[in-house]
Amino acid sequence: MSSFKIFDVAGTGMSAQSVRLNTTASNLANADSVSGDPTKVYKAKHPLFEAIRSGIGAKAATTGVSVKGIVEAQGAPTARYEPGNPLADTKGFVYAPNVNTVEEMVDMISASRSYQNNVEVMNTAKDMMLATLRLGQ
């Protein structure tokens, strides 16, 4: 494997973690939104990752990660009795998304750390290549 593939692998990792950070931020931003209709309430979104493989059979190697898609959580919304809320339905209920803010914060920290690790991989690979070039001096 070429040394330059390191940048491709780390770059795809950074791109995937960026999508993960964006979906987590969207979930946190909508965690307190409510609706009078349980079918129209915000649903948490999560990215689905897939390994990028090159080669065939036993010689196949993972060369990065891609975002296969964004899936919505299937959990039921939380019903709260708030008859004074202007968005309440005829029975006085409003529906909030089933977003766990603690889980989302942990996911955000994890994605941030993974992004930082990919940056460190790129910096270390760059430093090693520069050191190799300086060997001939």
The C-alpha atoms of residue 125 and residue 137 are separated, in whole angstroms, by 20
The C-alpha atoms of residue 9 and residue 89 are separated, in whole angstroms, by 50
Q: Is the pLDDT of residue 1 over 90?
A: no
The C-alpha atoms of residue 5 and residue 104 are separated, in whole angstroms, by 32
The confidence band for 60, taking pLDDT boundaries of 50, 70 and 90, is low
Per domain, the residue ranges of the chain are 5-33+45-74+99-134
Whether 35 contacts 94, CB under 8 Å = yes
> CA distances (Å), 46 to each of 23, 24, 51, 78, 136, in order?
6, 7, 16, 19, 49
What pLDDT, on a 0 to 100 scale, did the predictor assign at position 11?
Answer: 92
Average pLDDT estimate for 26-41: 93
> How confident is the model over 63-91, as pLDDT tens digits?
889 999 999 998 899 999 999 999 899 89
> How confident is the model over 92-118, as pLDDT tens digits?
999 999 999 999 999 999 999 999 999
Mean model confidence pLDDT for the chain:
90
For tokens 């309440």, name the residue. 88
Those residues whose C-beta lies under 8 Å from the C-beta of residue 126, and which sit 6 or more positions away, are: none
**Could you please report the per-residue DSSP string of 35-63?**
BSSTTSS---EEEEEEEEEESSGGG-EEE
Whether 54 contacts 39, CB under 8 Å = no
